[in-house]
Amino acid sequence: MTLTARPTEATTVAHDRVFRHLRSRIMHGDLPPGQALTLRGIGKDYNVSMTPAREAARRLVAEGALTMSSSGRIATPELSNDRIEELAALRALLEVELASRALPRAHMALIERMQIINTAIADAVQRGDAVAYIRTNLEFHRTLYLRAQAPAMLAMAETVWLQMGPTMRALYGRLRRTEPPQFHRLILAALKAGDEPGLRLAVRSDVTQGLRMLAG
Amino acid sequence: MTLTARPTEATTVAHDRVFRHLRSRIMHGDLPPGQALTLRGIGKDYNVSMTPAREAARRLVAEGALTMSSSGRIATPELSNDRIEELAALRALLEVELASRALPRAHMALIERMQIINTAIADAVQRGDAVAYIRTNLEFHRTLYLRAQAPAMLAMAETVWLQMGPTMRALYGRLRRTEPPQFHRLILAALKAGDEPGLRLAVRSDVTQGLRMLAG
DNA sequence: GTTCTGAGATTGTGATCACATGGAGGTATG
DNA sequence: CATACCTCCATGTGATCACAATCTCAGAAC
């Protein structure tokens, strides 16, 4: 807690470390849907007692990253098709708005960074690395949305990503993707052209494409 | 977002009871912005130890209903004007969509229920009861949105309400409102007429009116 | 009057424990 | 062979405690 010497690291509190690490794993599809977790197990993984494990679990449940049965057992969520559709609609709503707000502030340096990330996505796809694919894909989006200067909106978008994390991984396995997302090129083109309607369409298409593959 | 409790059964779990009660108080403006809370104090209020109080507080922090300082102290949020604007924009985004989805399913019985709630809002306004005003106003909106069959989206809208709760109360004091929300009449009229564009506009106007008064 | 200091009180954190509940798996019974 | 039952282990819950960090505020120093 008092180790303020390290500049980049915030709090070193145990429950927060557990929370952040677990959150990242879930968001990036490191855990399959329906994966059961136990407080004692989490505690053992991170060398802490049940207390910090419980607090991390609580926060994750509150964010929808984990579900709790009536008896208190915790697991990653198994989403129904309706829920997946709804979350995709939420992504479309939120991310189109975020992209739109970021557009006036998206200069060339940002677009170039996004292009580099896009090549990393292609890498992950070629390696068939689902976790790396999800992580870099979200990084692509987050890089843009950070420019929107809308932290509450970005937090909501991340909450949606979090809820979809385990399912995204399962979906990736079914998609057998061989190429990077086609709509990323459209997003980058619209950004360069300052074309807002085009950007909105491209983002909406990108965030709902997985859904279309699921339904089709 | 909250646990799916069986309709008639009250959960006996302490931390959940604390969580729900505190959440309701915050959402409805029972606490002013910046109000500090302590775990031992919460525990005392609900006759429980620190443990359930901590868990409730964690969940509320995760939902944005409470903020945590770097030293772990918890308090209701004091929102900047930028943040208020952003949350209002989120309300507009989410609630316009929810209303739009509810429209095809909004039959006369629902509209009549909303009209009854609207008179309760007028009541609260006349009595100058801020908490009752906020609660009935949210009930008006929630009654409509429940018909949208979009639980994740509704949960997000509630999260926004939650974050604005304490500030809403403070705003209400400044507004010195004497009449019920004018746009509620437009919402009801659009519902009756099945007028989607009109409904979207009315909802958008309603959820951003407080903001306009703040800025103006 | 203002600022610094330091001691005491307050507060969050994490570990541990007793307890009740629920689930899994084996056994008996049809 | 299937199903009901029962026992034991695993798991979440809540209370309590020791501890460290932090806040508060009275009093001293300038």
Q: Is the pLDDT of residue B33 over 70?
A: yes
Mean pLDDT of B181-198: 94
Mean pLDDT of A7-28: 82
Say what the pLDDT of residue B10 is.
54
pLDDT tens per residue, range A38-53: 999 999 999 999 999 9
- Reference A148, options A87, A97, A80, A212; nearest CA is A97
Q: What is the mean pLDDT of chain A?
A: 90
Q: Is the pLDDT of residue A165 over 90?
A: yes
CA distance A200 to A97: 8
- Reference A95, options A143, A141, A46; nearest CA is A141
- Angle, alpha carbons B1-A55-B73 (nearest 5°): 95
Say what the pLDDT of residue B175 is.
72
CA distance B117 to A71: 36
Domain ranges of chain A: 14-75, 81-215
List the B38 CA – D11 C1' distance (angstroms): 29
CB A80 under 7 Å to nucleic chain C = no
CB B41 under 7 Å to nucleic chain C = yes
Same fold, B14-75 and B81-215: no
Say what the pLDDT of residue A215 is.
58
Share of chain A above pLDDT 70, in %: 92
CA contacts within 13 A on the Cβ side of A121: 22
- Which pair of structure tokens corresponds to residue B27? 């959402």
CATH of domain A14-75: 1.10.10.10
A residues 38-57 closer than 8 Å to B (CB): 54-55
Provide ipTM, 2 decimals: 0.88
What is the SS3 assignment for B181? coil
DSSP letter assigned to residue B10: P
Say what the pLDDT of residue A173 is.
76
pLDDT tens per residue, range A89-119: 999 999 999 999 999 999 999 999 999 999 9
Q: What is the mean pLDDT of chain B?
A: 90
Kindly compute the dihedral angle of the four CA atoms of residues A42, A43, A44, A46, in this order, to the nearest 10 degrees. Answer: 90
A93 touches B at CB < 8 Å: yes
Mean pLDDT of B176-181: 75
On chain A, the residues whose CB falls within 8 A of the CB of B94 are 93
Quick one: A71 exposed, middle or buried, by C-beta within 10 A (0-12, 13-18, 19+)? exposed
On chain A, the residues whose CB falls within 8 A of the CB of B52 are none
Say what the pLDDT of residue A174 is.
77
Say what the pLDDT of residue A175 is.
72
Q: How confident is the model at residue B74 (pLDDT cuts 50, 70, 90)?
A: very high
Report CB contact under 8 Å: B93, A90.
Answer: no
Q: Is the pLDDT of residue B173 over 80?
A: no
CA distance B91 to B86: 9
Q: How confident is the model at residue A9 (pLDDT cuts 50, 70, 90)?
A: very low
CATH assignment of B81-215, among 3.30.70.1280, 3.90.650.10, 1.20.120.530, 3.30.70.1070? 1.20.120.530
- Render the burial of B89-117: b for 16+ CB within 10 Å, e for the rest: bbbbbbbbbbbebbbeebeeebbeebeeb
CA distance B96 to B94: 6
Say what the pLDDT of residue B179 is.
76
Say what the pLDDT of residue A178 is.
74
Say what the pLDDT of residue B132 is.
93
Q: How confident is the model at residue A214 (pLDDT cuts 50, 70, 90)?
A: low
- Reference A117, options A189, A188, A199, A186; nearest CA is A188
B91 touches A at CB < 8 Å: no
* Element spanning B171, H or E: helix B151-175
Q: Please count the residues of chain B.
A: 216
Gyration radius of chain B's alpha carbons: 18
Q: What share of chain A is helix, strand, coil (3-state, %, to 5)?
A: 70, 5, 25
Say what the pLDDT of residue B23 is.
97
Say what the pLDDT of residue A11 is.
56
Least confident of B29-43, B58-72, B116-130, B165-179: B165-179
Say what the pLDDT of residue B181 is.
82
CA distance B142 to B148: 10
Q: Is the pLDDT of residue B8 over 70?
A: no
CB B8 under 7 Å to nucleic chain D = no
Q: How confident is the model at residue A212 (pLDDT cuts 50, 70, 90)?
A: low
